[in-house]
């Protein structure tokens, strides 16, 4: 358990390492090790503590100190956590990087976050250096295992200050700057403090019910990316809180998933809705229940498959709601009985959480549907939430209008308190767990010389939840060749998952009198056009290896 008075991620880890030195904290599957070219097997708390101590000393010797940021592009390798812990130990902050980002996205992130060091895979260092250079930064770029250089010129920039200008330390110090797609173009940098991580571990360790964890050797497996809050904060800190072992896969491989689950000895797992859909599509096997899993924790399971999955594989899929911005300050989780299986039920808010549902005019509704507003019960309504958007206090203030965090999610609530997700107020597309800002994709499309106007909406996808649908007004001959050319060009500008999966050519976009896109009409148009034979299906182009 993360004891009261614990101030940092490192302190929490060190306390657990003191209790369970010889227990494994990480388990690297042979498949993952082969893909990454690293050693398979378990790594103990003692071993990681020694690695962190050595790295932290090297960083300090070169001049790194509280307030510095370091960008990390390390995919799902356990080495990420060693860097996180070492930097946290000296009071510095990490900027996790999605390895699927393209040059323009990396340039923006580097310029916005102002790191003093970039650590990336050896085959990505040249690309990262070019992005930093184009962002106007003089910053060293190294691979894991390289000697630690002196920091670049960006300098301490991660320091958070109170109203008097004093640097915030301990719990309130920035531990990570995590970028998440917004609704107004470029991703926003969410400032995550030590409190954010500590509260995530405490929440999970105390969740109970179907998600109960014990200090008796829990083993969690996740294929989710550690550059997102789910694996980086919840999975890792949950295991630190109870002295457990985390198996992080490089990604989700349906064909080898159950073998990895069995061989890892997992007692719990994390999932996204795409995973149950794929697993239920495989032929039934006598070994479907040959595992040690007590529960799965995640979001987005297809309601039609929920009960069938649990009956077939023998454990509950516990649905939950949270956001990068809310952290453990506001979690809704269906971990208590009785359950509403197959109804897309988020569960009931706990006593520690205040919720409010408001309609389009701002009036409070008991049942909804309406926008979900949340805050923490008690004297600090923002405890466990993100500390704000970096360099964007206006967006932070807007999100916290009237003292409530405005989620942008539309929900409804039944008489027994059960809450259900309805829709998104914000113009965000959620594809296989990735949030995609329609405005960012539209901006990229508009840079293509043939595109005169672009509008992007979400359409339903049976496997990935949402898919990106682009309505384009173009110069030249519309047709499949042009659609493929535009999407191919877009894949060079954006991470592969953001590119359009469908392209429809239109004579005009639905616009308001002030020439703004009418999002509701666009969504309806996309839902019709996705069935139109003239719409070009470009989903096959969306691969991680796309150039």
SS3 232: helix
Q: Where are the domains of the chain?
A: 9-409, 428-541
Q: What is the pLDDT of residue 441?
A: 87
What are the start-end ranges of the E strands in 249-361?
268-272, 295-299, 317-321, 332-333, 345-349, 353-358
- What does the pLDDT average to over 447-474? 91
Q: For residue 435, what are the β-bridge partners?
A: 430
Judge whether residue 480 has pLDDT over 70: yes
Q: What is the pLDDT of residue 293?
A: 98
Provide the pLDDT confidence category of residue 361 given band limits of 50, 70 and 90: confident
- What does the pLDDT average to over 166-193? 84
Please give the Cα distance from 337 to 339 (Å, whole number): 5
**In three state form, how does the secondary structure of 374-406 look?**
EEECCCCCCCCCCCEECCCHHHHHHHCHHHCEE
Mean pLDDT taken over the chain: 92
Count of CB atoms situated within 10 Å of the CB of 153: 9
Q: What is the pLDDT of residue 184?
A: 54
Taking domain 9-409, whether its CATH number is 3.40.50.12780 is answered by yes
Please give the Cα distance from 96 to 127 (Å, whole number): 16
Provide the pLDDT confidence category of residue 369 given band limits of 50, 70 and 90: confident
Q: What is the pLDDT of residue 545?
A: 62
Element (H, E) at 501: none
Please give the Cα distance from 420 to 368 (Å, whole number): 10
262 contacts 291 by C-beta, under 8 angstroms? yes
Query: Tokens standing for 251?
Result: 């990604």
Provide the pLDDT confidence category of residue 303 given band limits of 50, 70 and 90: confident
What is the fold of 428-541?
Answer: GMP Synthetase; Chain A, domain 3 (3.30.300)
């Amino acid at each position: 358990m993360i004891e009261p008075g614990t101030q940092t991620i490192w302190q929490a880890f060190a306390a657990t390492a003191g209790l369970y030195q010889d227990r494994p904290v990480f388990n690297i599957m042979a498949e993952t090790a082969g893909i990454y070219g690293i050693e398979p097997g378990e790594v103990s708390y003692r071993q990681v503590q020694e690695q962190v101590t050595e790295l932290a000393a090297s960083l300090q010797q070169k001049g790194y100190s509280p307030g510095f940021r370091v960008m990390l592009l390390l995919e799902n390798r356990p080495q990420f956590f060693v860097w996180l812990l070492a930097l946290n130990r000296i009071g510095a902050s990490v900027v996790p990087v999605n390895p699927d980002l393209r040059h323009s996205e990396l340039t923006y992130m580097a310029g916005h976050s102002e790191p003093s060091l970039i650590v990336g895979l050896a085959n990505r260092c040249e690309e990262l250096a070019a992005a930093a250079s184009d962002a106007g930064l003089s910053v060293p770029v190294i691979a894991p295992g390289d000697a630690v250089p002196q920091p670049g010129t960006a300098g301490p920039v991660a320091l958070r200050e109170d109203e008097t200008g004093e640097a915030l330390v301990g719990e309130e110090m920035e531990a990570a700057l995590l970028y998440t797609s917004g609704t107004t173009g470029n991703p926003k940098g969410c400032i995550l403090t030590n409190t954010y991580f500590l509260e995530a571990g405490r929440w999970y360790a105390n969740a109970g019910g179907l998600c109960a964890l014990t200090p008796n050797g829990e083993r969690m497996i996740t294929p989710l990316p550690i550059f997102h809050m789910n694996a980086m904060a919840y999975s890792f800190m949950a295991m630190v809180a109870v002295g457990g072992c985390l198996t992080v896969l490089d990604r989700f491989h349906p064909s080898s998933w159950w073998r990895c689950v069995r061989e890892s000895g997992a007692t719990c797992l994390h999932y996204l809705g795409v995973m149950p859909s794929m697993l239920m599509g495989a032929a039934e096997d006598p070994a479907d229940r040959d595992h040690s899993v007590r529960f799965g924790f995640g979001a987005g399971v297809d309601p039609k498959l929920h009960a069938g999955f649990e009956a077939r594989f023998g454990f509950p899929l516990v649905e939950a709601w949270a956001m990068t911005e809310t952290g453990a300050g506001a979690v809704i989780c269906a971990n208590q009985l009785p359950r509403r299986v197959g109804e897309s039920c988020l569960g009931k808010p706990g006593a520690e959480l205040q919720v409010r549902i408001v309609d389009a005019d701002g009036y409070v509704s008991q049942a909804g549907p309406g926008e979900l507003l949340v805050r923490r019960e008690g004297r600090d309504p923002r405890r466990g939430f993100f500390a704000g958007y970096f360099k964007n206090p206006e967006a932070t203030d807007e999100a916290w209008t009237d003292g409530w965090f405005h989620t942008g999610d539309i929900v409804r609530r039944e008489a027994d308190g059960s809450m259900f997700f309805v829709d998104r107020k914000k113009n965000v597309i959620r594809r296989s767990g990735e949030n995609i800002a329609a405005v960012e994709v539209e901006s990229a499309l508009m840079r293509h010389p043939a595109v005169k106007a672009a509008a992007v909406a979400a359409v339903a996808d049976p496997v990935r939840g949402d898919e990106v649908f682009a309505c384009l007004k173009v110069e030249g001959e519309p047709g499949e060749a042009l659609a493929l050319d535009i999407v191919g060009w877009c894949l060079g500008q954006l991470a592969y998952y953001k590119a359009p999966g469908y392209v429809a050519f239109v004579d005009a976009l639905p616009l308001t009198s002030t020439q703004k896109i009418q999002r509701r009409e666009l969504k309806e148009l996309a839902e019709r056009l996705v069935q139109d034979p003239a719409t070009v299906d470009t989903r096959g182009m969306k691969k991680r290896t796309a150039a």
